[in-house]
Amino acid sequence: MTTPPYKHLYLVDGSGYIFRAYFAIPPRSTADGRPVNATFGFTNMLIKLLRDSDADGIAVIFDKSGKTFRNEIYPEYKAHRPEAPEDLVPQFAAIREATKAFNLPCIEMEGYEADDLIATYARQAKEAGIEVTVVSSDKDLMQLVDGGIAMLDPMKDKTIGPDEVMEKFGVAPEKVIDVQALAGDSTDNVPGVPGIGIKTAAQLINEYGDLESLLERAGEIKQNKRREKLIENAELARVSKKLVTLERYAPVTEGIEGFALRQPEPETLRAFLELYEFRSLLRRLSDQLGDEVPAEATPVPAAPGEANYELVQDLAALERWVAAAQKRGVLAVDTETTSLDAVAAELVGVSLSTEAGKACYVPLAHKGDAPADGGLDLEGGGAEAPKQIPLDQAIAALKPLLEDPGVLKVGQNIKYDMLIFARQGIDVAPIDDTMLLSYVVEGGLHGHGMDDLAQIHLDYQTIKFKDVAGSGKNQVTFDHVPLEKALDYAAEDADITLRLHQVLKPRLVADRLTTVYETIERPLVPVLAAMELTGIKVDRDTLRRMSNDFATRIGELEVAIHKLAGRPFTIGSPKQLGEILFDEMSLPGGKKGKSGAYATGADILQGLAAQGHDLPARVLDWRQLAKLKSTYTDALQTQINEETGRVHTSYSQAVASTGRLSSNDPNLQNIPIRTEEGRKIRTAFVAEKGHVLLSVDYSQIELRLTAEIAEVEALKQAFHDGQDIHAITAAQVFGIPVEGMDPMTRRKAKAINFGIIYGISAFGLAQNLGIPQGEARDYIAAYFERYPGIRGYMDRTKALAGEQGFVTTLFGRKIHVPGIKDKNPARRSFSERAAINAPIQGTAADIIKRAMIRVPPALDKAGLKARMLLQVHDELLFEVPEGEVEETSAVVREVMENACAPALELSVPLVADAGTGANWAEAH
């Protein structure tokens, strides 16, 4: 054999990849309806491989349909494989076309699986001294891994070597087939030995060396069941081993010398990309394709990025755009600023789009070019600033348009732009938000940032902010971006937003989600904007004093901890701490997690502390103080806005899959309360002079909704009677009178009640209560016995989620649960629990959102001046003039308790409790 002229051969498992890509990538199709998601993924992967790897030899290997030699050994092999989904079938041919379009060899062979051909070529290449990488994540190929052969998981971009194989199978690669022979494989219908899984198999192989030795000496095994099974099924194990062993000497006809990398023919490649309408890939490969993207691939209107955008630098031009928008009635708007913090940001420019492919950018505060030498230049303008419309004139021209009730303003995360405009005296309305449309229609399926949405719905890769403004220490604010670049980027954003609106808005009706969007998400936007703009007053001195106090105590603890350890180390490093505790001090219970590090979480340290060890106890104290200082008392001081003296969080309305809000920069939804020490931080959140803080929160809302949704009559009755719900649960489940109940009994019932909301598991409950799993199992059984409605709800919900891929709240919000069909049982169970929790958490989120929308007008109508400041999932915080507390409290409670009406009437009452004080600690 001649030595092939390359060094590193990549063998791509084409059939394996396409299955994974099909399930991992959301459905997409060409204009005439041909499904292409897996083909797109495959093509993308090839481009990435060609671009990023050192491959100078590549072959793509496929399964050939039909029987293989394994069916002669064991007719049932792969007999239970379900048919491929119908929208995957046509893609099998398409990825072979893709392979050929890139001028790569396409290998398949009657009677052999792709895995056997890969094994054969890998062996041949290795013998010829060529490095081999098998591109696949199929565990069946892991047996090939050795010094010269590695695997690459193309979707996770993770290299799999002997260590990763060890992690997966618990044995070295050459023993993998022995483990597989014992454990079997239900998806391929490899029988294995009943009752033995990978864990047990690995343990046995490690103990006895290999399968044959194990089977010969099976009589020595102590566990009765295991010994019998092994003896009884020895032959089955041997057959299984034959099934899982890859054929390394398949009679292949193509030689590896033919796998040297060749350049693709530009015409062939282009024809392929056009046929499947992979326009973003066409664009990306345009340099390789020799010239510009051909005209026939350019749809009408022009693809984003290829459209002709207008730079608007005088008032007359801006007025033409205003008139065009008035005429159309729809306008996409986007602002460019100097900061992601809308309350601190300076307006730099505005972009507008009135129809797809037609957009402009109006620069308003761009500086001249930065000096090339990077020298000191405080104005940032070495050159004169470019021609721009004066800000006040532009605002005056835009205001009537942005406030025109007859013109719909469309934005991507328009709350941000509304805040920027609000600070310029413009009250933007009416609005639509493409981010929220996507959130309502496809929540749970993917992120809702513009880059994601452009890729998914428009097959377009947006220009990245980094590409125009740089990154890291070279990053500049947008006012320093040259106008040409700024135009491309900013106008594109408005263009894309308008196009996304055209795609997503009709989906509301089609998917019956109009009500959720129109009555919850859209009206909430201005409410959140007002809360963010208001902010909450934070007392810097209180925080500073606390930081100083923490610093002293942290320092003292550090000295003590280092002394106990016998040497200094970084206490904040879990890795170093683990080594100190379990290697150097040899404390018991050192357990390594999957990353190979010792676990040092609070539960572990508490266990050690309880055994009388001082160091872990001190580390717990240190961690608490370090957390409070770095995350709260230090960080919050830096978040106080210079101008307002208040802290302005930002609420994300499209992040949490259940419909909840999230809070960031800073997160004001996780300010400490559970420990005395942490709770003090809340005293720094204060009311303006002459005001107090009012906190109103829903009592047990999720448990009430669980009783409602799962129709648990006994719990509903308890809520009607206003009883202590956890005590009642304990009484009914454990049969103990409420009078004189042991607090531990009530605690257990409380844990079960919470567990139910989370999609209970015996493991989780046991963990939470620190009891054996068996005991937890008994409690759950007793609970289900007493409240059978709960089990019915759980089973129904799992089934429904499986059938339709989503669950719904009482208000019709859809929450997608993509992992519900996962064949990995751990991931599937995870999704099942999420599916059980989502309608409960999501309905609670819907309810408080409805309340938030109604509170401001209700206060207004009552002539009250209170301002809503924060939302913390089941709590609303207000700043109230001292004389209006009682009235405000009554109005807010009224709105919150009746927030379901008139859309829905619950059979359990909702109760909202109020508290007031000079600061948040007192009010809550």
Partner DNA sequence: GTGTTCACG
Partner DNA sequence: GACGTACGTGAACACC
Which residues in the 713-752 window bind DNA by CB under 7 A? 751-752
- The site for DNA, by CB under 7 A, has a size of 77
Residue with smaller CB distance to DNA, 309 or 416:
416
Q: Toward DNA, which CB reaches closer, 532 or 875? A: 875
Interface positions, 204-243, toward DNA (CB under 7 A): 225
Question: Which one, 100 or 168, has the nearer CB to DNA?
Answer: 168
- Give the residue with the Cβ less far from DNA, 297 or 620: 620
837 is a site residue for DNA (CB under 7 A)? yes
14 vs 839 by CB, closer to DNA = 839
Q: HSE on the CB side for 349, CA within 13 Å?
A: 31
CB of 702 to DNA, least distance (A): 8
Pairing of strands 106-107, 358-363: unpaired
CA 82 and chain centroid, separation? 30
Residue ranges of E strands in 356-427: 358-363, 408-411
Task: Give the single-character DSSP code of 81.
Answer: P
CA distance 345 to 337: 6
286 sits near DNA (criterion: CB under 7 A): no
Binding window for DNA (CB under 7 A); candidates: 25-33, 104-112, 513-521, 616-624: 616-624
CB of 842 to DNA, least distance (A): 9
Q: Which DSSP letter does residue 869 get?
A: E
State the burial class of residue 213 (Cβ atoms within 10 Å of its Cβ: 0-12, 13-18, 19+).
middle
Nearest distance, CB of residue 123 and DNA, angstroms: 30
Q: For 378, what's the count of Cα atoms within 13 Å in the CB-facing half-sphere? A: 0
Interface with DNA (CB under 7 A), residue from 367, 833, 849, 854: 833
Only one of the segments 72-80, 120-128, 193-201, 415-423 lies at the binding site for DNA (rule: CB under 7 A); that segment is 193-201
Pick from 711, 768, 791, 913 the residue near DNA by CB under 7 A. 768
Phi and psi angles of residue 606, each rounded to the nearest 5 degrees, phi first: -60, -40
Counting contacts by CB under 7 A, is residue 658 touching DNA? yes
| 875 binding DNA? (CB under 7 A) | yes
Query: CB 36 → DNA: shortest distance, Å?
Result: 26
Is 767 an interacting residue with respect to DNA (CB under 7 A)? Answer: yes
Contacts by 456-459 with C-beta closer than 8 Å and gap 24+?
456/26, 456/28, 457/499, 457/500, 457/503, 457/504, 458/304, 458/496, 458/499, 458/500, 458/503, 459/28, 459/277, 459/278, 459/279, 459/280
Residue 872 binding DNA, by CB under 7 A: yes
**Measured from the CB of residue 503, what is the shortest distance to DNA in angstroms?**
24
HSE-CB at 225 with a 13 A cutoff on CA atoms is: 5
Considering only 349-357, 549-557, 708-716, 754-762, which stretch makes contact with DNA by CB under 7 A? 754-762
Whether 457 contacts 568, CB under 8 Å: no
Measured distance CA(159)–CA(142) in Å, rounded: 12
764 Cβ contact list (under 8 Å, min separation 6) = 755, 758
Piece of the chain touching DNA by CB under 7 A; list 135-143, 190-198, 276-284, 488-496: 190-198
The distance of closest approach from Cβ of residue 535 to DNA in the complex, given in angstroms and rounded to an integer, is 15
Of 20, 366, 480, 660, which one interacts with DNA (CB under 7 A)?
A: 660
Dist. CA 50–CA 73, nearest whole Å:
39
Reported as type and span, the H/E element at residue 697 is strand 691-698
CA 603 to CA 622: how far, in whole Å? Answer: 15
For residue 527, how many C-alpha atoms fall within 13 Å in the half-sphere facing its CB? Answer: 23
Residue 838 near DNA by CB under 7 A: yes
Classify residue 181 by burial, with Cβ atoms within 10 Å: 0-12, 13-18, 19+: buried
* Site map 797..826 versus DNA, x via CB under 7 A: ---------------------------xxx
Within 10 angstroms of residue 537's Cβ, the number of other Cβ atoms is 21
> By CB under 7 A, what part of segment 533-552 binds DNA?
none
Q: What is the 3-state secondary structure (H, E, C) of 18-43?
A: HHHHHHHCCCCECCCCCECHHHHHHH
Cα separation of 351 and 360, whole Å? 6
Binding region for DNA (CB under 7 A) out of 69-77, 278-286, 587-595, 721-729? 587-595
Candidates 255, 572, 645, 722: give the one binding DNA (CB under 7 A). Answer: 572
Least separation in angstroms between CB 760 and DNA: 4
Among 30, 71, 189, 200, binds DNA (CB under 7 A): 200
Helix (H, G, I), strand (E, B) or coil at 273: helix
Does 760 sit near DNA (CB under 7 A)? yes
Confirm if 529 and 862 have CB atoms less than 8 A apart.
no
Determine the residue type at 749: A
Candidate residues 72, 763, 781, 918; the one interacting with DNA per rule CB under 7 A: 763
Q: Which is nearer to DNA, 361 or 783 (CB)?
A: 783
Query: Shortest distance, CB of residue 726 to DNA, whole angstroms?
Result: 12
User: Could you say whether residue 620 binds DNA (CB under 7 A)?
Assistant: yes
Minimum distance of DNA from residue 414's CB (angstroms): 18
Stretch that binds DNA, among 128-136, 488-496, 710-718, 871-879 (CB under 7 A): 871-879
Least gap, CB of 55 to DNA (angstroms) = 22
Interaction residues for DNA, span 661-680 (CB under 7 A): 662-667, 669-675, 678
Taking the complex as a whole, the smallest distance from the CB of residue 656 to DNA amounts, in Å, to 4
Q: Which is nearer to DNA, 519 or 576 (CB)?
A: 576
- Is 605 a binder of DNA (CB under 7 A)? yes
- What's the min distance (Å) between Cβ of 781 and DNA? 14
Question: Tokens 């690669």 map to which residue?
Answer: 173
Q: Is 761 in the site for DNA (CB under 7 A)?
A: yes
Residue 462 is encoded by which pair of tokens?
């947006």
**Looking at 268-276, 560-568, 873-881, 893-901, which segment touches DNA (CB under 7 A)?**
873-881
Contact status: 759 vs DNA (CB under 7 A): yes
Q: 582-604 burial string, b = 16+ CB within 10 Å, else e?
A: beebebeebeeeeeeebbbeeeb
Name which of 295 and 826 has its Cβ closer to DNA: 826
Range in contact with DNA (rule: CB under 7 A) among 245-253, 268-276, 384-392, 599-607:
599-607
Distance CA 841, CA 378 (A): 50
Nearer to DNA, 372 or 826 (CB): 826
Of 626-655, binders to DNA (CB under 7 A) are 626-628, 630-631, 635, 652, 655
83-91, 622-630, 787-795, 907-915 -> range binding DNA (CB under 7 A): 622-630
By CB under 7 A, residue 600 contacts DNA: yes
Nearest approach, Cβ of residue 785 and DNA (Å): 17
Residue from the set 26, 129, 148, 197 that interacts with DNA by CB under 7 A: 197
Strands 358-363 and 347-355: antiparallel
CB of 167 vs DNA, minimal distance in Å: 10
CB-CB contact of 705 with 844 (8 Å): yes
Q: Residue 253 class from Cβ within 10 Å (0-12 exposed, 13-18 middle, 19+ buried)?
A: exposed
CA distance 472 to 476: 9
**Cβ of residue 487: shortest distance to DNA, in angstroms?**
26
Should residue 188 be labelled a site residue for DNA when binding is judged by CB under 7 A?
no
Distance separating alpha carbons of residues 516 and 342, to the nearest angstrom = 26
Q: Is 624 in the site for DNA (CB under 7 A)?
A: yes
For DNA, the closer CB: 245 or 753: 753
State the DSSP string of 732-779.
HHH---STT--HHHHHHHHHHHHHHHTT--HHHHHHHHT--HHHHHHH
**Are 105 and 258 in contact, with CB atoms under 8 Å apart?**
yes
Interacting residue with DNA among 162, 574, 792, 856 (CB under 7 A) = 574
